[in-house]
Amino acid sequence: MDRRTFGKTALGLAGAAAVTLGMGAGTALAQQKMKVGFVYVGPVSDFGWSYQHDQGRLAVEKALGDKVTTTFVENVPEGADAERVIDQLASTGHKMIFTTSFGYMNPTLKVAQRHPNVMFEHATGYKRSKNLATYAARFYEGRTVIGLIAGKMTKKNVIGYIGSVPIPEVVSGINAFTLALREVNPQAEVRVVWVNSWYDPGKEADAAKALIDQGVDIIVQHTDSAAPVQTAQERGIYVFGQASDMTRFGPKAHLTAIVDDWTFYYVDRVKAALDGTWKPIDTWGGIKSGMVGLAPYNTAIPGDVVAMAEKAKADIMAGTRHSFTGPIKDQSGKVMIPAGKHATDEQILKMDWFVEGVVGKLPK
């Protein structure tokens, strides 16, 4: 609420004429402070993807509040609007701008070319330039851990998976989950429903209901709202949350969640920008770097299953377990990753096929 009080004191006293003065004073005050902007695709209150990015922003304020001020814009549609918002941030004195959704890639690149002195960071994309860095998380590592848990917790051996859009990040998540699931439970299979949206509580709840009616007893989501968690709670089945700890939306149903933790990354990058050591690099962090974590385990998970999950986490960190270790077959039985090898980053980044055990086809 600091921002609000600031707004009140700096801008509050006078009328429209004084507004410009007030803003001038604000800039003078913040002369030493670097302005950092964040663009979110959902509302900060989604308690999922955008919420976690906002937690990262708050961490930056907390750690570097004496050197930076932050701004965010939420609910920015991917399309013609994104470029306007990003440009608006760049032309209102923001020296560093994080754009946190894939669909912002081309708009961010366009604005970055127009503002060569501003540092841009785009999440989950693949285009970089001399002032545009990219970053993403190896969410699939988390999917491996929850896949193991699901394999032990399912009774009916059918898992429902709510997919957002069929991009490699989501497909590799489904595959990593399914591989781990069948590692501990070879009979289990995964049913995928696409909702074609990252945040649509209505559609997500409908997808959850449809899956439950088909007889799944655990739901996994790769969408950002807590609606599937709430639905699972109502219908008395288990669910894994996405992006942040969603326990509060379904305390009984919520087994754990894959938590995206951007705090370290954002603080590091803003520090680098302040030091002048910032470079337009690509970062792809996983469990080891702390970018991907797991929410506290539900007490319904037996101790040995928790121990197994923790061991898998430790192995991933130590580099002794890889989510895509061969032999891996696709749905038709063709060997995609031979025995003794694991998928390269390139293969994961371009993944557009399902592993054996996934029911349903990828839109082509």
CB of 46 to other proteins, least distance (A): 12
Residue 87 touching other proteins (CB under 8 A): yes
Residue 81 touching other proteins (CB under 8 A): yes
CB of 344 to other proteins, least distance (A): 14
Residue 344 touching other proteins (CB under 8 A): no
Alpha carbon distance 147, 26 (integer Å): 50
List 33, 58, 71, 210, residue binding other proteins (CB under 8 A): 71
Residue 74 touching other proteins (CB under 8 A): yes
List 129, 187, 196, 344, residue binding other proteins (CB under 8 A): 196
DSSP letter, residue 13: S
Alpha carbon distance 107, 86 (integer Å): 8
* # residues contacting other proteins (CB under 8 A): 50
Residue 129 touching other proteins (CB under 8 A): no
CB of 191 to other proteins, least distance (A): 19
List 92, 129, 214, 344, residue binding other proteins (CB under 8 A): 92
* Single-letter residue type at 17: A
**Residue with token string 């061991």:** 311
Q: Which two tokens stand for residue 42?
A: 């959902």
Nearest to 186 by CA among 210, 233, 212, 152: 152
Collapsing DSSP states into helix, strand and coil, what is residue 135?
strand
Q: Which two tokens stand for residue 185?
A: 């439970």
Of 76 and 253, the one with the shorter C-beta distance to other proteins is: 76
List 37, 142, 151, 241, residue binding other proteins (CB under 8 A): 37
Residue 7 touching other proteins (CB under 8 A): yes
CB of 37 to other proteins, least distance (A): 7
Residue 88 touching other proteins (CB under 8 A): yes
Nearest to 226 by CA among 162, 143, 158, 299: 162
The DSSP annotation for 51-118 comes to HHHHHHHHHHHHHHTTTEEEEEE-S--TTHHHHHHHHHHHHTTEEEEEE-SGGGHHHHHHHHHH-TTS
List 24, 65, 77, 186, residue binding other proteins (CB under 8 A): 77
Residue 279 touching other proteins (CB under 8 A): no
CB of 364 to other proteins, least distance (A): 5
Of 34 and 171, the one with the shorter C-beta distance to other proteins is: 171
The DSSP annotation for 204-258 comes to HHHHHHHHHHTT-SEEEE-SSSSHHHHHHHHHT-EEEEEES--GGG-TTTEEEEE
| Phi and psi angles of residue 298, each rounded to the nearest 5 degrees, phi first | -65, 145
Residue 61 touching other proteins (CB under 8 A): no
Of 21 and 314, the one with the shorter C-beta distance to other proteins is: 21
Residue 126 touching other proteins (CB under 8 A): yes
Residue 103 touching other proteins (CB under 8 A): yes
Residue 331 touching other proteins (CB under 8 A): no
Handedness of CA 40, 45, 47, 51 (dihedral sign): positive
Interacting residues toward other proteins by CB under 8 A: 3-4, 7-8, 11-16, 19, 22-23, 37, 43, 71-81, 83-85, 87-89, 91-92, 102-103, 106, 126, 165-168, 171, 196, 349-352, 363-364
